[in-house]
Amino acid sequence: MSTYTKRVVMSVLGVVICGLSVGMFKHAAFGVDPFQALMSGLDAVIPIRFGTLYVIVNLLLLGFALAMDRRKIGLATFINLFLLGYVVEFSQAQCRRLLPAPGIGVRALLLLAGLVILSLSSALYFTADLGVSTYDAVALVWSERQTRIPFQVCRIITDSVCVAVGAALCLLAGMGVKQILGSVGIGTVITAFCMGPLIAFFNRTVARPLLGESAEKKP
């Protein structure tokens, strides 16, 4: 298998695995990943369809990525745009079918599994280097331009900002505590602080070895 073919396969697998993990997060109901938490807050205060809002926000982020580093946008970016949503729908539907009323223990396992799988998926399509999602491009570009700040720290900061803004918007919209915790809960906070280091770990141990790259190369 050629290196380019490996990169395409890694990109597709990364997006598919990401979609599966997001469905698990949603069914666990401890809070979604930081970017989805931001989207939930924006959706609560902006009176347009969520799908349209999602496109607008991602177009803004796409503009940032194109202006700062066009190399971050590629085939994987568009695979993400057109495939991810459908995989999330499938994953959430299967979780509901197999686990219609999960207890807190099962929900905690779903959260943990979702976090690990989401980090693995990110490592795969980052390292494939055929373009990343528009949100992921923010931390990557920042990390590469500010060489003194490691990627893990950049990711923690961007995720934390998304969590804070998402929670503030949900409160501004007058959402109840239960509704807010479903979007911006303990799972969101855990993800915000753990995902960056986990992505770096999977970059070193899984993604780069698949391409025969050095484990010491910067994310």
Per-residue pLDDT of 57-112, as tens digits, reads: 888 888 887 887 777 788 888 888 778 778 888 888 899 999 999 999 999 999 99
**Region 38-52 average pLDDT:** 84
Maximum separation of any 2 CA atoms in the chain, in Å: 54
Per cent of the chain over pLDDT 90 is 29
Helix axes of 186-202 and 3-28: crossing angle, nearest 10 degrees: 160
Domain enclosing residue 14, as ranges: 3-211
The answer to whether residue 76 sits within a structural domain is: yes
Dump pLDDT digits (tens) for 118-134.
Answer: 999 989 988 898 987 88
Q: How confident is the model at residue 217 (pLDDT cuts 50, 70, 90)?
A: low
- Whole-prediction pTM: 0.75
Amino acid type, 133: S
State both tokens at 42: 């924006």
The answer to whether residue 218 sits within a structural domain is: no
Tell me what pLDDT residue 43 has: 85
Dump pLDDT digits (tens) for 155-196.
Answer: 889 988 998 998 899 889 888 777 777 777 888 888 878 888
> In whole angstroms, what is the distance from residue 9 CA to residue 128 CA?
8
Tell me the pLDDT of the chain averaged across its residues.
85
Work out how many domains the chain is built from and give that number: 1
The answer to whether residue 50 sits within a structural domain is: yes
The answer to whether residue 217 sits within a structural domain is: no
Burial letters for 180-194: b for 16+ Cβ neighbours within 10 Å, e otherwise?
bbbbbbebbbebbeb
CB 27 within 8 A of CB 92: yes
Give 120: exposed, middle or buried? Use CB within 10 Å, 0-12, 13-18, 19+. Answer: buried
Provide CB contacts within 8 A for 14, sequence distance 6+: 76, 121, 122, 123, 124, 125, 126, 128
